[in-house]
Chains A and B, each alone.
Chain A
Amino acid sequence: MSARADDAAVIVVGGGHAGVEAALAAARLGVPTVLVTGDPERVCTLACNPSIGGSAKGQLVREIDALGGAMARLTDRVSLHSRFLNESKGPSVRALRALADKPGYVRVAAEAVAAQPGLTVVRGMGEDLIVETGAVRGVVLAGGGTLRAPNVVLATGTFLGGKTFRGDEVRAEGRFGEPPAIGLSATLARLGFPLGRLKTGTPPRVDRTSLDLAAMAVQSPSATPLPFSYASPRAFAGPQLPCWIVETNERTHALVRENLHRSPLYGLDLIRGIGPRYCPSIEDKVVKFGHNPTHQVFVEPEGWDEPTFYVGGFSTSLPSDVQLAMLRTLPGFEAVVMLRAGYAVEYDFVQPTELDPSLETRRVAGLFHCGQLNGTSGYEEAAAQGLIAGINAARRSQGREALRLGRETSYIGVLIDDLVTRGVDEPYRMLTSRAEHRVMLRHDNADLRLTPVGRDVGLIDEDAWSAFEQRRDALAGGVRFAESSRVGPARIGRDDLPAGATLADALRRPDIGVDDVRRHFPPATDDDVAARVEIEIKMDGYVRRRRTAIDRAVRDEAVALPSDLDYDAVPALSREGREKLARIRPRTLGAASRIPGITPTDVALVSVHLHRLILATASA
């Protein structure tokens, strides 16, 4: 069953990780939706590495799942290497990372799109937007077709004004071998959106059979690999594979240095876009960290049956012949066959300070931006934004209020708030350091934080909701049991516990884990529940300690700043503060305080001015 393309309420342009989450969410909320993509057989392409999740990004995937999004379930169906990171560093930074079978991921995503009622796929490229009296009305396709709808989600990835670089070879492409979107860039510029250029890159892919894996260090998946989704079965469909790690050496670095004059970034000076500091090319590593004798290279399978391995940490835009020579300096790579050379890609992005936290642009009503178009990098960051943009495009068409997630609720909330209040000056990647309330934003409790929200939104069906209620109640019951069961020091086998100590008292000790006291729980207690009981109890004091800061932040967040607030009228406000506040127009006092360059004094001045305004209005 499909909606007809000409009575859509939401059009999503772009079939990557952001676009597919947006399209699936909007259609599932009962809104006729059209997904415009260049190649419907290749939606959700893992264009760079095969990895999904990791520190902070893994939390994003869990949150997408808890809200009712697709990424976690898609990944679990094709996970070939699952590893739980940071296990010893504490519950709030534990994160799941998986490698996906790349063709498998595209296949399951395409199946999900095809099976989604209310979602029509149109093969094509967005070329122009139809905008009437400040509101979007539809999309003009390359080749002349027109689709009309009052809500448009742009999820164009690296395709806007895309250019790829390999040595002196420069091509107009959004990805290797795929044409860029030129018209839309011009449209956005014409509408007044400030466009910038960013750069990213990808490493070479090599023939797995040409490698001597015995010469490399093995990195095994977790002994008991976990799925991302709360709904996925514990057992994976296919086998779990190892990865390998090798190190670069002086010969590798010498080749980089000798060929820098052929680099589009260094010698040729062709690239203007700003690249991510956390994902440097091998050229960057050698130039900026010349004192490091070696750099790690991660050798990862791209699929169960794929001939290619991904050479992580080796992103480069040097010419192909140099890339091959560099690869051959690595241990086990002596006879390597390079199947595809690495390249850099440069693309347009729109400053996300143009957006409301709903991801709707302030300039054009009904137009939503998500993913790399907003200056982010990463599949997870893109999918998270796509989900929110899709939800809000659907809600707008239904006349409902937008969903906005606060920084205290989720990494998704942190991501969107950072984007819309601070803007980006390099590709944005999620990191635990960005989340001030990270003790709350954990892998384990994503469902407690967000599934009730997803239920209200309408993305959590009956089955998922009742499964959540069971988990939630079992967890609450387990915590109650632990708090009320007096086991005493003797039964725990720890005489440093006070007499009458409860199971919870024992679990509060850093050196006592749930496995040490497992036998005191009812035999029917589920392993997952027991593990979560331990985390809830151990974290409780720290979460309560954060509560004050969160309450203060939430209070500042509740102070709305009028969208027409005249910052020129705020006495003594700095020029910089005045200019930034007038340009960014933060929605709340809390958002204002997070804008770089806005000082506590500025915030105080704005707050005082606002109080005066309110008093003046009240007495008028």
Chain B
Amino acid sequence: MRCSGADARTIAARVFRSGEALRDRVATYGEIIDVDGAVIDRGLALAMDAPRTVTGEDVVELHVHGSPVVARETLRALLHAGARAAGPGEFTRRAFLNGKLDLSAAEAVADVIDAESRAAARAAQANLAGALRDAVDGVRAALSSVLEELAGAIDYPDEVPEPARERVHALVGEVDAKLDALIGDWERGRFVREGLSLAIVGPPNAGKSSLLNALLGEERAIVSATPGTTRDVIEESFAIDGVAVRVLDTAGLRASDDAIERSGIERARRALDGAAVALVVVDGSQALDADARAVLENTRSRARVVLFNKRDLGAAGYDARDDGERDALSGTVFDGAAVDAVRRAVAAAGWHGESLDFARPHLASARQADAVARAREALAHARVTLAAGEPVDLIVPELFAAVAALGEITGAAATEAVLDGIFSRFCIGK
């Protein structure tokens, strides 16, 4: 549990009791106590003084045992001692506001917090290192440079020559292509940030729960065996090539067979509605029953993966499958190779199996994507205006708008940057 802010130590002292005083960056053992002095738990307190902390403010971390009750009671004690619960992403925002990170880096931190998969963490780390800032800044600097020439020629007509229109046009085109690539990565990267939603559907006893367990792997199955949070009850996630795949309606999959029978096809349909990809499991060892045929038919028009399960028991159903299921997989969920085949098929259906280059910088938020989109809109206007042979006074505002929009990502002010460029590049003034 982390407290950040000028009063972090004061507040921590009200809930943490120890024989020795907290020292900077030294863990201290002691008791977590409530408002009446009763011991909630025993644990460690770690104080870190500003500014060398993650938020740039004084920070005290309380390390307590993992029980939800202990965590809740500790939080309650902290609130009683004068702390305020952090809003979503507040630590990140404070880190940014305290100058610990630039805007893009702060949003990359938010990505780390939200990321459930390794790939997202890698991409976020690339941004943390400033790769996004460098990429956007490079584009912004190129635009700013030509804008300096245009604006310089307007404000100092006797001293700064107007740049050739062909060169301006070519540069705007190059910049636009780079921004297009950033937006493309952003759109593909949606799976990285948000994950892919998957519904596992099929008749009772087709092996859906077993397939889920196989996909989740041993570790996750154990975690979800002791549901402690709401999310664990209704949603599981696993990774394929580093992309988080969220399985919808696992509650239904995990309910008893009686429950499945009771809610039947209806429940599967609801899960299907919200899913990007359907994973259809049927018993392929015998002739398909009416339920199996119905679920296959209902999912034909959408992105799906079909597994004819229970290959070890036979393949009668698989062999007699319709043309619509020509590409269906056949195997058993207890066979690692078959489960891998399912993973690959889900990747192909979900994001066409495209490998995402996570080492490349990517836009980390919808706000950044919006800024790039606005820059591109302004550049599109600039290109039309240039092509039409309009005078430069109509091109300059569009380029200014583009530079300003990109500056929102890196935190640079357009007007000042352009003026600085003009005065440092051109020797002007009567």
Query: What residues make up the interface of A, taking CB atoms closer than 8 Å to B?
Result: 49, 51, 55-56, 85-86, 88-93, 219, 245, 276-280, 285, 288-289, 292, 295-296, 298, 312-313, 315, 431-434, 436, 438-439, 510-511, 542, 545-546, 549, 572-577, 596, 599-602
Contact = CB atoms under 8 A, between A and B. Distances in A.
A90 B150 CA distance: 12
Interface of B: 90, 93-94, 96-99, 103, 151, 153-159, 162, 381, 388-394, 396-397, 400-401, 408, 411, 413, 415-416, 418-419, 422-423, 427-430
Given A577-B97, A599-B103, A280 B155 contact: no
Top 7 A-B pairs ranked by shortest CB distance? A90-B393, A90-B391, A574-B97, A312-B430, A289-B427, A277-B423, A279-B429
A86 B430 contact: no
Contact of A433 (B159, B381, B419): B419
A298 B430 CA distance: 7
Contacts of A312: 430
Nearest to B157: A85
Given A90-B394, A438-B393, A510-B391, A572 B93 contact: yes
B427 A295 contact: yes
A84 to B, nearest CB: 10
Given A433-B151, A510-B391, A438 B397 contact: yes
Contacts of A576: 99
A372 B393 CA distance: 30
Contact of A292 (B98, B427, B430): B427
Contact of A93 (B393, B422, B429): B393
A55 B153 CA distance: 10
Residue with the greatest number of chain B CB neighbours at <10 A, chosen from A276, A313, A577, A602: A313
A433 B156 contact: no
Contacts of B401: 549
A601 B429 contact: no
Given A438-B393, A600-B408, 14 more contacts: A277-B429, A278-B429, A285-B427, A312-B430, A315-B429, A432-B151, A432-B396, A433-B154, A433-B422, A438-B397, A575-B97, A599-B97, A599-B411, A601-B96
A198 to B, nearest CB: 15
A573 B391 CA distance: 43
A545 B381 contact: yes
A85 B415 CA distance: 22
19 contacts: A51-B430, A55-B155, A89-B157, A90-B391, A93-B154, A219-B158, A276-B429, A280-B427, A280-B428, A280-B429, A298-B430, A431-B155, A432-B154, A434-B419, A510-B388, A572-B94, A573-B97, A596-B413, A599-B103
B430 A49 contact: yes
B100 to A, nearest CB: 11
Residue with the greatest number of chain A CB neighbours at <10 A, chosen from B154, B401, B423: B154
A86 B427 CA distance: 19
Contacts of B396: 93, 432, 438
B50 to A, nearest CB: 11
Residue with the greatest number of chain B CB neighbours at <10 A, chosen from A51, A315, A436: A436
B97 A89 contact: no
A313 B430 CA distance: 4
A436 B427 CA distance: 24
B428 A90 contact: no
A599 B99 CA distance: 11
A574 B99 contact: yes
Contacts of B411: 599
B154 A510 contact: no
Residue with the greatest number of chain B CB neighbours at <10 A, chosen from A296, A546, A549: A296
A453 B151 CA distance: 30
Given A89-B393, A288-B427, A510-B390, A433 B162 contact: no
Contact of A90 (B93, B156, B392, B419): B392
A546 B397 contact: yes
A293 to B, nearest CB: 11
A92 B393 contact: yes
Nearest to B381: A545
Contacts of A510: 388-391
B154 A89 contact: yes
A328 B157 CA distance: 27
A431 B416 CA distance: 12
A141 B375 CA distance: 57
A296 B97 CA distance: 46
B46 to A, nearest CB: 23
A545 B93 CA distance: 34
Contacts of A313: 429-430
Contacts of B428: 278, 280
B423 to A, nearest CB: 4
Contacts of B103: 599, 601
Contacts of A599: 97, 103, 411
Contacts of A289: 427
Nearest to B106: A601
B192 to A, nearest CB: 24
A433 B388 contact: no
A572 B154 contact: no
Nearest to A511: B389
A55 B430 contact: no
Residue with the greatest number of chain B CB neighbours at <10 A, chosen from A56, A277, A549: A277
Contact of A86 (B99, B154, B413): B154
Nearest to A219: B158
Contact of B393 (A91, A245, A285, A298): A91
Nearest to A546: B397
Contacts of B94: 572
Residue with the greatest number of chain B CB neighbours at <10 A, chosen from A278, A285, A295, A596: A278
Contacts of B98: 574-575
Contacts of A574: 97-99
Residue with the greatest number of chain B CB neighbours at <10 A, chosen from A93, A433, A575: A433
A577 B99 CA distance: 11
A572 B97 contact: yes
B377 to A, nearest CB: 10
A431 B90 contact: no
Nearest to B427: A289
B397 to A, nearest CB: 6
A92 to B, nearest CB: 4
A538 to B, nearest CB: 8
B271 to A, nearest CB: 37
A219 B397 CA distance: 30
B196 to A, nearest CB: 31
A477 B158 CA distance: 37
Contacts of A575: 97-98
A344 to B, nearest CB: 14
A282 B361 CA distance: 45
